Structure 1
Amino acid sequence: MLTRFAPSPTGELHLGHAYSALAAHDAARGAGGAFRLRIDDIDGSRSREIYVDAALADLAWLGLGWDGAPVRQSERLGAYDAALADLAARGLVYPCFCTRADIAASLAAPHGPAGALYPGTCRHLLPGDRERRMAQEPHCWRLDMRRAAALVGKLWWEEEGQGLRAADPAAHGDIVLARKDAPASYHLASTLDDAAMGVTHVVRGADLIASTDVHRLLQALLGLATPLYRHHALVCDTAGQRLAKRDAAASLAALRARGVDGKKLAADLRAGRLPSGYSLKMP
């Protein structure tokens, strides 16, 4: 077994990150396997090296150890470019020039698991118009979902202990694979990285269950192995909302500054005991 924990260095880790890191770490160690770290640092506008150092310190404070040096997404840009070029050569991606405001203004846009779906505006541009606009305008790259889904047919993925689930990537519409401000989307980068790292079990929060449909499609398109998945409950606040990095009171750095014992906190989280005001919840 090989699991991973993949924080984005865009803020301080919180209790939810701790719970997820422990779940991945303990699954691997319990099976005599390996636990790896990956730093998802390709968001150039928000990633900060100070948060990389803070994350490593937080994990060590919890008593977690990892195998090998952390993998950095910023060192794997060539792999993302190659995958995108492969999909482009097969006519499965297209440039999109629409802004978020353009998409929001499309009242006819259907909705999927993550909200409004892209209405496909740029999918129908003529080749000449695409080339002209690509030379002049910022653009992302979107997957032509209908063509991609038709190419691979029915797909399945396995939730550990619960059996096979039918994947429904079409429900997500034409997803972004490379953003205007980043060389790869979460979907593309995470799928490629898990395969390159040899991850056998993806242990992550249940808020990412729907994303697994998209990752399964990309695995099929790019000829990648499919790991087992284990989605765990989320740490929520008093309002029942999933924690975010803006929840400063729940940050591990704040808890450490208050004198909380990291290893004791880890033991409590393993037992399902959370600090007052927080709870575990499946979405």
Structure 2
Amino acid sequence: MEVQGLSCHGCGSTDVDFDPKTRKIHCRQCGREEYYSRAQLGATGKVAFAKDNAIQFFKDGNWSSARTFANDVLNTMQDNAAALFIVAYCDEFEDGRSGAVEEFFGRVGPMALEYGEVRDLIELFEGALYNMRDYEAQMVTVVIENMQGAEDRQTLEGFIETVCPYCISRYASEDFLSDERAALYRDIASHCDVPKTCFALLKGIRENPGSPYRTGSFRMRAHTGYFLEHYVEPVGRIIQEMRPSSVKAKFVQAYQQLSDQYRSDASAASG
């Protein structure tokens, strides 16, 4: 296929054929064959123009136009992360095709994304949080795995502090805090400064919909014990993983007070 904006790096001719599956071009002028990298292909005029339009229409809530431009991107760059997400999101939340977003994460997860692609995904994820709550772990993981440099720390922390507190405050019960999710939060707390995320977890001891404080169910020993084991205690382990600082000391103290009060209230109710 011919793609506007691609040229032969040998002779400079734009008379080239392009295979989007392999990102290989064949020059009709000099016969040279070469591969375009993800960064090179993503920066070409046609791809960049269509991607920018897709993102803007997506942010504006014009899903039909967003999908059209995203498909234009994918016609040339089949693995562009932003375009793949927009199409999957529209399939899932506009057309009702269950599993489309999960398929997106399954496809993008193994990819080594370019920096610009990660920034695009951050912008899209943050703009769609109201529908993406159930994909908190996947969103955070794909960004973490592609932002390992020290120079990315501030951007990464800002993203986590936008996504995680939002999601934590909206879960319907304590069951979101699975062993895997708790391990993810511990890893995040040990490597990043995320006080808003840790504070949201602390607040959940009293405010999570499954908390005995919210349900008035301290007399129900089984549930009170379950919430202690599956929420209160895991939160304590997450707080302990925070990097040493005066902020951590305050969080540890706050957690201890909340934990002691929980146990005291549980004991009083059962007595």
Please tell me the TM-score bracket, short chain as reference.
under 0.3
Computing the radius of gyration over CA atoms, which structure comes out larger, 1 or 2?
Answer: 2
Higher relative contact order (CA 8 A, sep 6+): 1
Q: Higher strand fraction: Structure 1 or Structure 2?
A: 1
TM-score normalised to structure 1 length: 0.24
TM-score normalised to structure 2 length: 0.25
